[in-house]
Amino acid sequence: MSAAVPAATQTRLIRPAGSVRGSLALPGDKSISHRYALLAGFAQGTSHIANFSSGADPHSSLACMAALGARVESDPQTRTATVTGTAGRFTQPSGELDCGNSGSTMRMLAGLVAAQAGTFRFTGDASLSARPMERIREPLESMGARIDLTGGHAPMTVHGGPLTAIDFEAPIASAQVKTAVLFAGLQAQGTTSLAEQVRTRDHTEHALRAFGAELLRRPDSGGQTRLYIAGGQTLNALDLTVPGDISSAAFFLCAALLFPDSNLVLDNLGLNPTRAVLLDVVTGMGGGIKMLEVADQHGEMAGTIQVNRKPGPLQAVDLSGQLAAQLIDEIPVLAAVAPYTSNGIRIRDARELRVKESDRIALVVKNLRAMGAQVTEHEDGMDIPGNQTLHGAGIDSGHDHRIAMAFSIAALRATGDTEIHGAEAASISFPEFFDWLDELAVR
Ligand code: S3P
């Protein structure tokens, strides 16, 4: 049911480059595409989604919505999806909801089906079947659903039914868990409220409002900022355009940092402030970023940026605390270019990296060492000294898209060629990645 990732393992050869130059329009943001797919499938009427992500993961969300009764047409070539929703009533799927590699699909959709009469069995690939699901079971069960897990993981069965609103204090920084609770709250009896310690990406909040839901964000009586969503709201279809994926852009932004005469123009790039903190970090490291144009698209900021490298050495950064949570998807590529900075990168408070599509701390450390770098591993991060020279090596992607792409960028400044084993994993979020890299890398 999910968009298939080629089973065979591919190896890509990455040769060193001298610069990156050119312009690109990134495929639609993965996080936003998931939310539009799920809410369009839940809403009443037909939504047309332009610049839908070409990655396999958001297509898993579309496939699940089709299995739940939505009518879905999608074309990864034209990056469009047309979804006729179920007007808030899913049909019982005839089989399992196969989420492929996509944790977002499994966790967020669990919130939508938790309020629906029926039994919904979720499965995923080997990587997804090892990822923690307790984090959504706990709040959804306290609202009245019953969820069976397998040792804390998928396969997962959600027994849906009438839900009651809760006041939820998010124990971990996770936009997926926040979304599951808001999606359940949308259908619960009463008003659900939620507070998070770290402000995670807020695409769900914008998407819910775009589809017509009312959602408030304001301080409670103790002065803590909370989200409030009343149950029993209906959603209406609309036409949307997904901004380009800033987490995919991160690979090219880091590539631009590596060379003094880089020059990239990125069009229709998502600039949501809860994600665009990456641009501050890139600027702090020595990137020159100009905003050429910015517009609001259904609450999401999108625009054109131009990126180059300011004169002087690449600066060190410290990625810890709130910053680590907000940059969680970009840490692999920032770590992969860390040896080329003058004073290295320190990463802490990023334990969540161990339970992503792979153990990203272990794999980054292993692959940096394969390229000859010194690195110290910590339970919740790593220390990567600067001023290091890397050599080409065989890289193990661990079937993880962000690892495959991160080390393709490190390879651009290494001495000698690098082989990325398991390169096909890039198609989970960014199937066009290697084509764009070939086009933009100047050799
Ligand atoms: C995502 C949230 C993050 C992120 C993932 C996408 C989302 O996961 O790592 O790639 O779309 O909400 P967590 O919610 O587990 O932090």
Which residue's CA is the nearest one to ligand 1's atom 11? 31
Structure tokens at 113: 């089906």
Which residue's CA is the nearest one to ligand 1's atom 10? 329
Chain segment 75-116, per-residue pLDDT in tens: 988 999 999 999 999 999 999 999 999 999 999 999 999 999
CB 165 within 8 A of CB 143: yes
Does 21 have pLDDT greater than 70? yes
Distance 311 CA to ligand 1 centre (A): 34
Whether 331 lines ligand 1, by a CB cut-off of 6 Å, is no
Which residue's CA is the nearest one to ligand 1's atom 13? 174
E strand spans, 42-184: 46-50, 71-75, 80-84, 97-98, 118-123, 146-150, 153-160, 167-169
Distance 174 CA to ligand 1 centre (A): 6
Chain segment 411-440, per-residue pLDDT in tens: 999 999 999 999 999 999 999 999 999 999
Whether 204 lines ligand 1, by a CB cut-off of 6 Å, is no
Chain segment 209-261, per-residue pLDDT in tens: 999 999 999 999 999 999 999 999 999 999 999 999 999 999 999 999 999 99
Whether 245 lines ligand 1, by a CB cut-off of 6 Å, is no
Give the largest Cα separation in the chain, rounded. Answer: 61
Distance 107 CA to ligand 1 centre (A): 10
| Residues acting as catalytic residues | 329
Does 46 have pLDDT greater than 50? yes
| The amino acid at 92 | Q
Whether 127 lines ligand 1, by a CB cut-off of 6 Å, is no
Does 2 have pLDDT greater than 50? no
- Please give the number of the atom of ligand 1 that sits closest to the Cα of 135: 15
H-only helix segments in 17-102: 30-42, 56-67
Distance 173 CA to ligand 1 centre (A): 9
User: What pLDDT, on the 0 to 100 scale, is given for residue 308?
Assistant: 98
Q: How many CB atoms lie within 10 A of CB 441?
A: 23
Considering the chain, what is the average pLDDT of its residues? 97
User: What pLDDT, on the 0 to 100 scale, is given for residue 8?
Assistant: 66
Chain segment 115-174, per-residue pLDDT in tens: 999 999 999 999 999 999 999 999 999 999 999 999 999 999 999 999 999 999 999 999
Quote the percentage of the chain above a pLDDT of 90. 97
